[in-house]
Chain A
Amino acid sequence: MQLVSWTCPLPNGGSSEELVVQFDRSRQHRVLVIPALFDEANKLRRQTVEVMRRLDKAGIDSFLPDLPGMNESLEPQSEQTLAGWRDATIAAAQHFGATHVLSWRGGVLLAPIALPGWRYAPQTGAKLLRSMLRARTISAREAGLEETISGLENSARTDGIELAGWQLGAAMFAALESADPQPSDLQVEIAQANIGSTGLWLRAEPDEAPPQADALVTIIATSLGAL
């Protein structure tokens, strides 16, 4: 595993240096990995890298780049947009010479549609927001504050909002509300039922599940003819 940086072009014409976790041995198959988003990113990070370790053992290169505003990025979260992140994944695919894309949950919303690959348990933007909005109203209630989901939605559309520790700008929030995975004939959906057990995004704490990682990699490696 290598931790290096990549140069991501920004919508304003500039660029930013972002971290990438990669297994790069210049092999035939090179998979761009688009992680789950927001709070699910934390819960699934370890499992995502577990899958990449197994892809490496199966003879497949993989690349998990930070996008601007994620993880170690110095770019402000509140200025990121869905369109900007989509452009960033296209740039990443070119930068790493990706032959395929594996996207996770909300990351499916960002996957470059021109690449073949896999979509693991796709999630819509509306559902991602709903869970985070609900978490915020529950904790507000515990603190004796009255917040409602509809009230938060209204203010978020004009002022942005902090959800699950993420600063979402108004443009990001509004775009997520109607963001559905884009249709693709090239990318195969892998449902949780194909993996077995239940998704780790449900867990209260980040965790790993080796059998699930094995199952996901078997599906991918089989479809590439690498097994």
Chain B
Amino acid sequence: MNEATGSSTIDAKLRSVLGDVLGLSAETVARFDADTGLFGHLPELDSMAVAGLLAELEDRFDIVIDDEDLDGEMLEAYGGLLAFAEAKVAQG
């Protein structure tokens, strides 16, 4: 695994995108842990914001997210989203 696809880099990029979408500071986003609730927990993270988030993840990680990839688990908490991003990047 090279540096560009390393899991710590994915984690950092994912936090950066979430910070951009939610308008949160890097310090606040750095405190997200695997159980931090996302879709359904943060009122501002509505379906349109999630769609924007996914589009940005596609651009920044150079991945394609299919309809069938989307399930409640991956969007519900930070840990699920991170696991999803790591798996997608690993698939190439």
Contacts and interface: CB of A to CB of B under 8 A. Distances in A.
A39 B55 CA distance: 14
Given A138-B50, A138-B51, A204 B56 contact: no
Contacts of A201: 52
B44 interface: yes
Interface string B20-44: 1111000000000000000110001
Contacts of A156: none
B47 A138 contact: yes
A137 B75 CA distance: 14
A149 B65 CA distance: 12
Interface in A52-75: none
Contacts of B55: 127, 130-131, 134
Nearest to A201: B52
B67 to A, nearest CB: 5
Contact residue range for chain B?
20 to 34
B81 interface: no
A202 B51 contact: no
A136 B23 CA distance: 23
Interface in B42-92: 44-56, 67, 70, 72, 75
A202 B45 CA distance: 11
Given A138-B47, A148-B67, A131 B23 contact: no
A207 B47 CA distance: 18
A142 B51 contact: no
Contacts of B23: 203-205, 207
B47 A136 contact: yes
A135 B20 CA distance: 18
Interface of B: 17, 20-23, 39-40, 44-56, 67, 70, 72, 75
16 contacts: A127-B55, A131-B54, A131-B55, A136-B47, A138-B39, A138-B70, A142-B47, A149-B67, A202-B21, A202-B52, A203-B20, A203-B23, A204-B22, A204-B23, A204-B46, A207-B23
Q: Which 7 A-B pairs have the closest CB atoms?
A: A204-B49, A135-B51, A139-B47, A134-B51, A204-B44, A138-B47, A135-B47
